[in-house]
Amino acid sequence: MSETVVKKTPFQKALSDGRVATVFLFLPPALLLFTFFVVLPLFDAAGYAGYKWSGYGEPTDWVGLRNFSILAQHSVFHQSLLNTAKVIAASCLLQMPLALGLALLIYRKNWINTAFRLVFFVPYILAEVATGLIWSFVFDGNYGIAAKVSETLGTEPIFLLSDRQWAFVVIMFVVVWKFFGFHMMIFLAALQGIPEDLTEAARMDGARPGQIAWHVKLPLLKPAIAVSGFFAIIGSLQLFDLIIPLTNGGPSNTTHTIVSYLYTFGLTRLRVGFGSAVGIVLFVLCVGFAILYRGTAMRGEKS
């Protein structure tokens, strides 16, 4: 007499192997933390954005959309948006190609490549504030390396971080230097996951190294490139820690990004309501980009 096989539903399978218990054990604390530290502050910021409020006491001076109106007409905020767009462009057009090129050169496993990986990854390990302080000293026309170069060449001291035209160029250079190692590691991990059989077959067919990289490796790196681009753009939208020690938004408020603008014109001037409005705009930009990017560049990654 044959036994009747009872087919379990997906929920019964999950219940039997303990997955449901794991979800009920670990999900509530995560949701609780996310609610307290993300959702509730976001709703508070949305409420404060409608007030003229210094941050002390209860907000009572309701101004409606006035903070957003001031923001839309503020030339420094327009400059901050432009600067953020410049950082995004530098991250995508300079930082990512540099990281990808280096990864293609040193992805094979040997001690020399391991040493190079360490050297290239060290800038990313440094804290952003420490990086800003180091480079502010390098470009200091009085005491830094720039001063020594000027003295050696017998020219007048150069103060790039005080120059309206060059200050933000220096910031973009530091951003690329600081973060390309992170993206290099993403590409290294993806390259090491490519089967050697594919590249060996292309090599046997007479393909040159450049052709192998372009026609074999790059198509397989598309998911890694999409992830790297996502981190590069989100990181550019949130750039702050490098700005303050390098230029503090100067000269003449020409090097602010959105977040440093929020800090300078919102928090430091005790205009918490206005700063909350800037925060809401930044949140909308980040979420809008994440949704758009997920639906376009990362469309093939959907499960």
In the predicted model, residues of the chain with pLDDT beneath 50 are 1-2, 5, 302-303
The answer to whether residue 232 sits within a structural domain is yes
> DSSP for 64-90?
TTHHHHHHHH-HHHHHHHHHHHHHHHH
Residue with tokens 């990854």: 121
The answer to whether residue 226 sits within a structural domain is yes
Query: How is residue 196 written in tokens?
Result: 């050697």
The answer to whether residue 41 sits within a structural domain is no
Query: Would you give the DSSP letter of residue 139?
Result: T
114 lies in which domain range? 74-269
* CB-based burial label for 247 (10 Å; 0-12, 13-18, 19+): buried
Query: Would you give the DSSP letter of residue 216?
Result: I
Measure CA of the first residue to CA of the last residue in the chain; give whole Å: 43
The answer to whether residue 33 sits within a structural domain is no
Q: How far is CA 72 from the centre of its chain?
A: 25
In sequence order, the β-bridge partners of residue 16 are none
> In this structure, are residues 54 and 271 in contact, taking their beta carbons and an 8 Å threshold?
yes
The answer to whether residue 222 sits within a structural domain is yes
In sequence order, the β-bridge partners of residue 62 are 51
What's the total number of domains in the chain? 1
Global pTM value: 0.85
The answer to whether residue 294 sits within a structural domain is no
The answer to whether residue 300 sits within a structural domain is no
